[in-house]
Amino acid sequence: MNPDQSFEQDYLTGLANRRALYEYYSQIDASTMIHAMFLDIDNFKRVNDIYGHSMGDKLLIAVSKLLQDHTRGFTSRIGGDEYVVLLDGSLTQPQVEGIAGNLLSSVQEIDFRKDILSLISLSIGIVMEQPVSQNLDDVLTKCDAAMYQAKYNGKNQFAVYKSYDKTLEINRHIELEMDDTLKNGEFVVYFQPKVNMVSSELVGAEALARWIHPVDGIRPPAAFIPLFEKNGFISQLDLYMFEETCRIKSTWKGTKYEHIPISINMSRLHLYNQAYPDQLVEIAGRYQIPTNELELEVTESIFLKDSTELIRMINQLQDRGFMISIDDFGSGFSALNLLKDLNANTIKLDREFLSDSSNSTRGKKIIRNVIALCLDLKMDVVTEGIETKDQIDFITRCGCQIGQGYYYAKPLCEKDFVTFAEEYLTNIRDSFVFHLDGDLQSEDGSREGLFCGDQPVTYGPGIFKDSKSLSFPGGAMEENTLELPPDCIVNDSFAISLWLYPEELYQWTAAMYVKFETGFFGIIPYSWEGHCDFRLRDSKEVTGWYDAAAVQLHAGTWWHVSASYNARTETLIAFINGEVVSVLENVPTNRYVKRIMLGGDVFQPSFVGRICEVELYNEAKDYEFMADLHQEYVTRKDFTALQLDDPIY
């Protein structure tokens, strides 16, 4: 077949263009049989991104010449890096496959830069023995489907369409049904909970589309989402799901889960819709849903193809108050560039990344450092695919608190999700509380302290009538101290509250000491000029000493001492008796708690006095919370600290 040179040519390569292909096809006798190839250059976008569009154009010209020299058919470039070749129908299938195989091997031998050739390959879809009497679009649809099968199989290969007739037939049937699905209400919102793995608190959910087909029942997302992405229907479905989520969320007003943030998936097709951000704002406003309670999830793979558009769209969405989450993080090779370029609010670790990497020491270190990097960038981290308690223990030790997976719940219909929310918002373990009122156990019985020293455990009067407090007799470094389980604090942000009664004050003796992997935090009742000091040490820096000096504490008096560290803002706030006494900014984040010690540290002789009502929080607490907490103590009818010597109120 020789193309008529009067047909329109592609401006860059000189090949026939899409219009020329259709005109040529229309002039072939309808009784003729042809074969067709659909070719795509693998990783072509990477060439453009790394070497520039000028080099990409040169590559297109070189590949075009290769096709002209090796195919002996009508060759056309129909757009971008996609080509279609029509072959004589008299060729046998082995001959056609031989042409395809020759192209796959020859592309590495063209006269071009070897570093670029090492990046690329071809994926080829073939459809055999097609009568020209059928529509060319049908022919192209078949070989396009085969080409994508070749890509799915690993690229740098060809696939013959006839093996995929059934899939195409199913997809065509779905496309005939899809336009009526939204108005018929066949798509419903299911919610998969996101849970704080430390406190077992429900902290959010992901909205997922479920197709309830009137005949087939629930159709799995894998059966329709890829097709909808390809044919563009996903844009309508996304907006429908967003509005349905807002509608459902509006029915929760007045409930305790009213403000639970919900994440909704966003297709890459929206990146080119300039009106998309304002469409979402209008829908959220119609249902009176604050935009900061709605999170848009974009997959990591979008970054590979549409990084510029993605960054622009994310900025516009965040300007309107929406949260942004990067889904399936770790599933591709763009992770570090993505973290550098995208100002996302949340990173979701891909389930395969978790399962593949957590089976080796090296893999575990990678997960731990990826989480640390995200947290250093002030991004929240959600781990997907949580299925076992061992995974929870490992991931929380790495610093990630939020999990999503079948361990907690599969995606739930609205009714079941509300039931889940009622339970998980009722039984929230907000902190670990050690009353030290005659025993060393936490309030919920899940943790127990260990007294270390040569003296027996003794108790003195506490802050409430008939209550006790743990006595610390003093001693050498680390002697006669109480070790609390280090997993009581697993988050980068934390808060601590305790009541202490110094009987003797020794300079730089700590009442509490928290050892991190690369530093420590200490509460020191008597330091510079007699002031109480809240000290945070970053041992990664020689000058990494951060001291929040407070008021003077006196012996023989009960003091309510509290501190809060916010890793996102890098701020340390110190409280005495519910009042702010010091604020320290730009304090680096320490993580991975190794020890929690009451009554001393590893530097100075031990504390002499009593301690009780120790509360450890895995989140920062604000001024109002600490003031209210203090009032809860002192307004109790059985509060007796006022009756002790030298009252402080």
Instruction: Return the HEC string of 365-378.
Output: HHHHHHHHHHHHCC
Return the pLDDT at 306: 62
Q: What is the DSSP string of 509-570?
A: --SEEEEETTEEEEEESS-GGGEEEEEEEETTSTT-EEEEEEEEP-TTS-EEEEEEEETTTT
Q: Could you give the CA distance from residue 573 to residue 534 in angstroms, rounded to a whole number?
A: 9
Mind listing the pLDDT tens digit for each residue in 147-193?
988 887 888 999 998 755 566 667 777 888 888 899 899 999 999 99
Long-range own/partner contacts, residues 390-397 (CB < 8 A, 24 or more apart): 391/354, 391/358, 392/197, 394/358, 394/364, 395/197, 395/354, 395/367, 395/371, 396/197, 396/198, 396/487, 396/490, 397/487, 397/490, 397/592
Short-list 79, 264, 81, CA closest to 190: 264
Nearby residues of 320 by Cβ (< 8 Å), 6 or more positions away: 277, 278, 280, 281, 291
Q: Please give the helix or strand (H or E) that residue 594 lies within, else none.
A: strand 593-598
Tell me the CATH number for domain 431-643: 2.60.120.200
β-bridge partners, 481: 452
- CA dihedral (518, 521, 527, 533) positive or negative: positive
Return the pLDDT at 166: 63
Short-list 472, 453, 474, 500, CA closest to 615: 500
Check residue 168 and give left, alpha or beta (phi > 0: left; psi -120 to 50: alpha).
Answer: alpha
Q: What kind of architecture, by CATH, is found in domain 18-169?
A: 2-Layer Sandwich (3.30)
Return the pLDDT at 9: 87
Name the pairing type of β-strands 608-617 and 468-473: antiparallel
Return the pLDDT at 223: 84
Lookup: tokens for 326: 């990067």
- The answer to whether 524 touches 538, Cβ cutoff 8 Å, is no
Vertex 301: Cα angle to 314 and 335 (nearest 5):
85
Nearby residues of 371 by Cβ (< 8 Å), 6 or more positions away: 349, 381, 395, 398, 399, 400
Return the pLDDT at 6: 43
Mind listing the pLDDT tens digit for each residue in 109-146?
999 999 899 889 999 999 999 999 999 998 998 898 88
- The answer to whether 600 touches 606, Cβ cutoff 8 Å, is yes
Length of the chain: 649
Short-list 153, 105, 157, CA closest to 126: 157
Q: Could you give the CA distance from residue 551 to residue 228 in angstroms, rounded to a whole number?
A: 64
Q: What kind of architecture, by CATH, is found in domain 183-424?
A: Alpha-Beta Barrel (3.20)
- The answer to whether 502 touches 525, Cβ cutoff 8 Å, is yes
* Predicted structure pTM score: 0.61
DSSP-derived secondary structure letter, 169? H
Q: Please give the helix or strand (H or E) that residue 40 lies within, else none.
A: strand 33-42
270 burial via Cβ count (<10 Å: 0-12, 13-18, 19+): buried
Longest CA pairwise span in the chain (Å): 109
- The answer to whether 14 touches 3, Cβ cutoff 8 Å, is no
- The answer to whether 71 touches 100, Cβ cutoff 8 Å, is no
Q: Could you give the CA distance from residue 378 to residue 567 in angstroms, rounded to a whole number?
A: 8
E-assigned strand segments in 197-277: 201-213, 217-219, 262-265
Return the pLDDT at 335: 59
Q: For residue 217, report the phi and psi dihedrals to the nearest 5 degrees.
A: 80, -145
Short-list 474, 562, 353, CA closest to 572: 562
Return the pLDDT at 179: 84
Q: What residues of the chain score a pLDDT lower than 70? A: 1-7, 163-169, 303-306, 331-337, 356-358, 425-430, 642-649
E-assigned strand segments in 157-200: 157-160, 187-196
DSSP-derived secondary structure letter, 467? -
- The answer to whether 162 touches 36, Cβ cutoff 8 Å, is no
Instruction: Name the residue ranges covered by the structural domains of the chain.
Output: 18-169, 183-424, 431-643
